[in-house]
Every structure is written in structure tokens, then in C-alpha cells.
Structure 1
């Protein structure tokens, strides 16, 4: 049976929204999805189109969303449309929308950088070695089954999250001599969320295509999209 997906992509170019989403389109096709691509969240206000959509994949860092658009997104998810994405495309989108933040239950706050004297002003200033720890409770979850904790060198997201996230993996940010915080801090890195009849999936690794091509990251996102779909 054919399913319908909507891809919403754009915002800050540094996250390569077009190349990043293109990476996953063959996976959707292979699993029976027919998709449409949009460069703004305006489609969320189209109630008929949203009601017929099984999965939304969003990669829209920062940017803005109108009230009728975010209310349309809320209504669709509550009625059973799935919502999935990674990194800033979902947890650093629409910063000024309280409704979107409530829907997601999580928001990017920070990514620590290298030692100040080693910074050059490039994105790589924030590429740090760190571990994504798969929780023991997620060992049999369909998104993370068979995946062990793994290491990355990329942005490590500090995420503010509420108690309704079903966390599958975490990452721990150390407290280094130049950091203003005084002890290590553990944040969600991969999670799901139930909202009404809908499912939400988010993964914080995914800064650029090379991170998305990591076999563990790619597998988690591919499975996460299928899990979220109606």
C-alpha cells in the first residue's frame, strides 16, 4: 500500500537541508512512500493535504512559522501523521514558536566548542569527539535494536527536554576547564514522543551529510522515519 510523505526543508544552509534530505529519499521510496518536497512550512496549513499525509520529514533549521501553520502541524500529528527529523532541522526550528516547542518537547540550547585557542571561526570549531550511548532499555526498540553505543566527531547537542520524551540514547557533555558549567551533563540524543494519535522521532546527530552517512546514524534515522509513520 502506498504511503504519502511530505518533506519540508530549508532554513540555515549550513545543515545542507537539500543534500541531507535527498540522502533518505531512496529509503522512503523503497518502503512504499510517495513524497512531495516543500521549501517552507506553509504546507502545514493545508488541512486536506496534511490529513492525507502519513509522514512528515522536516529539515528546517531556525526559520519562522506562522500560527496557522504550526496549528496545522499540531492537528495533523494529533490525528496520526508521523513527524521525524534530525539535528537542528527539528530541535532548532522555529525558535519563536511556543506551540512548536511544546509539540516537540525539546530544544537545542548549545553545542560546546574546542578549546578557545584552537578555534578558527569554521564550523569545525564545534566538532568534538563524543559518544552516543544507547540505553539498555532501548536494546529491543525497533529504532535502536542491535545498535551499540558509538562514537562520533561532530557537533554534540545540549538539548533542553521535557519529561514526555521516550529517550533511546543519550550523550554526556564533559565539564572542561574553560566551560562555565561545573559537572558533566547528560542530554537526550535519540528519542521518540507520542502526541495524540501521532508519533514523533528525533535524533540530534546529523549536522552535515558526512554525519548522516555514519552507518549507525543513518540506520537510526531510517528506522525512526518508519517508526513515526502512520
Structure 2
């Protein structure tokens, strides 16, 4: 669906999407973001791709951007760059991403964490005796459960609870988030926590005139191809895009 079909009035001019990628290579930032470029282009976006967060400090470029898709795990960001990102979102630029590319970015920047409303803390692993020393040690079967709000929201409406076998993110979060889906970490006998812990798996956040969407599944390319994960991310791009009222 083209963005102007979902948000009438945006189509007065061609919407502009900025894809920012980099950081830890384990999340395949180039391949992962490349897989969404055809969707954006089919949707009528003019797409710019940057391999650095330096663009966030370019006030003119950011003011002309309707959607930012970020895939930058860990890494660092300057105070000027994060200030530029925050100002753009507050003025109406949409901001979205998945997994560590948005929820585990710039750990040392409290201003960035305040903006996105959630920070990766861990992804619990398998029983110690079942671990072989590879990334699969952290691939756990788990459910993504759509909330009551999520069942009515344009991003997740019509999507049923679904199952994944991949990293299950435990995130620290705050009450400004509108949670569309959750995931629950069980209390296993080898873990130090004594009761199940439910964390947001998909959330939105209003920041000034801007919309933020965070989807925590997406560790690997195969997870990004899961029909429900992909639908959520693509709908999130459309929903986050600057609306006519925010122009």
C-alpha cells in the first residue's frame, strides 16, 4: 500500500525515507535494510541510504525527511547527532526499526534511550547443558502476544499471536509506550529471576509530532522474512511516516 493511500494528504509531495544503517555486523545491517528498499520504493518513497549517523546532524536534510528507518546495533552517536534526530522526530519525522538496530543502539546515550522508550537488556539462553557455544544458544521458542490495543491498531490489526524460534528480547521500558505486542520470559530453575517477566515486543511512541515504532524480533534475515514480522515492520513504516498534519 502506498503511503498516500493510508494517509490521504501525504501524497501532495513524494515522501522521503532515510535509511541509516551500520554498527554490529552480526545483524547484517546492509542485507537487512536492502530487503525493505523495494517495499519503500513501491510505496512511492524517495529513498536515501546512509552508512553513518552523521546525517542526523544535518538539520536541513532531517527537516525534509518523512521517515527514518534505522538499523544500527550498538555503536556510538555524537550529542549533535542525537539532538538532530530528536528534533526531527519531535517536528514530525517518523522513526522506526527492528531488533538491535533500534532497541540496542547507542547504549551510552541517555537522550537516545529516552527517545525510543526501550533498551535491550538481554536475550536469555537455553539450559546450560544444551549450549554449544554458537548464536543458536540464544534461540528460544517463544510467543509474541498481541495486546488488546494491538488488535485494534493499524500496525497489528488482523495479526494473531505468533510463534518464533530466535532471540527473545528482554527490554527495559517506560510507561509512555503504547504496547501492541508482548513476550513473556519464563522463570527457569537455572535463571536468577523467580517469576515470569513480560516485556513489550512491539510498541509505538508519540514524540512531539512524530511517531516511533519499535519491533523487537528481527535478529536474522530469516526472522525478517517471517510473514507476521515483515507485515508489522512494513505497516510500521507506513504508520510512522510524517502525516499531512505534522508537515
Q: Find the aligned partners of 1:41 and 1:104 in 2 and give their Cα distance.
A: 16
* 3-state SS of paired residue (1:80): coil
Structure 1 residue corresponding to 2:145, chosen from 133, 150, 174: 133
* 3-state SS of paired residue (2:152): coil
TM-score for both structures, normalised by structure 2: 0.92
1:101 alignment counterpart: 113
Cα offset for 1:207? 0.2
Unmatched 5+ stretches in structure 2: 1-10, 243-247
1:12 alignment counterpart: 24
Cα offset for 1:136? 2.2
Segment drifting more, 3-12 vs 134-143: 134-143
Structure 2 residue corresponding to 1:170, chosen from 182, 191, 199: 182
Structure 2 residue corresponding to 1:190, chosen from 202, 212, 218: 202
Q: Find the aligned partners of 2:161 and 2:139 in 1 and give their Cα distance.
A: 19
Q: Find the aligned partners of 1:40 and 1:29 in 2 and give their Cα distance.
A: 21
Q: Find the aligned partners of 1:18 and 1:163 in 2 and give their Cα distance.
A: 32
Cα offset for 1:198? 0.3
Q: Find the aligned partners of 1:12 and 1:122 in 2 and give their Cα distance.
A: 17
Q: Find the aligned partners of 2:29 and 2:222 in 1 and give their Cα distance.
A: 13
* 3-state SS of paired residue (1:58): strand
Unmatched 5+ stretches in structure 1: none
Deviation beyond 6 Å, 4+ runs, structure 1: none
Cα offset for 1:140? 1.9
* 3-state SS of paired residue (2:72): strand
* 3-state SS of paired residue (1:112): coil
Q: Structure 2 matches for 1:66-215, cutoff 5 A?
A: 66-215=78-227
Q: Find the aligned partners of 2:176 and 2:118 in 1 and give their Cα distance.
A: 10
What is the number of residues matched between the two proteins?
230
Q: Find the aligned partners of 2:149 and 2:216 in 1 and give their Cα distance.
A: 19
Does residue 37 (structure 1) correspond to residue 37 (structure 2)? The answer is no
Q: Find the aligned partners of 1:222 and 1:36 in 2 and give their Cα distance.
A: 17
Q: Find the aligned partners of 2:78 and 2:145 in 1 and give their Cα distance.
A: 36
* 3-state SS of paired residue (1:178): coil
Cα offset for 1:137? 2.4
Q: Find the aligned partners of 1:120 and 1:76 in 2 and give their Cα distance.
A: 44
Cα offset for 1:228? 0.4
